[in-house]
Amino acid sequence: MEVRFENMICLWDDKIPTMFLEFMNLLTLAMNEEQLRASVKDFAEKNELDKFFLYGFGSHHFYLHQRYTSDPEMVMQNRVLSVHF
Boundaries of every domain in the chain: 2-84
- On whether the pTM is more than 0.85, the answer is yes
pLDDT tens by residue, 23-79? 999 999 999 999 999 999 999 999 999 999 999 999 999 999 999 999 999 999 999
pLDDT at 63: 98
pLDDT at 67: 97
pLDDT at 23: 98
pLDDT at 19: 98
SS (H, E, C) the chain: CEEEECCCCCCCCCCHHHHHHHHHHHHHHCCCHHHHHHHHHHHHHHCCHHHHEEEEECCCEEEEEEECCCCCCCECCCCCEEEEC
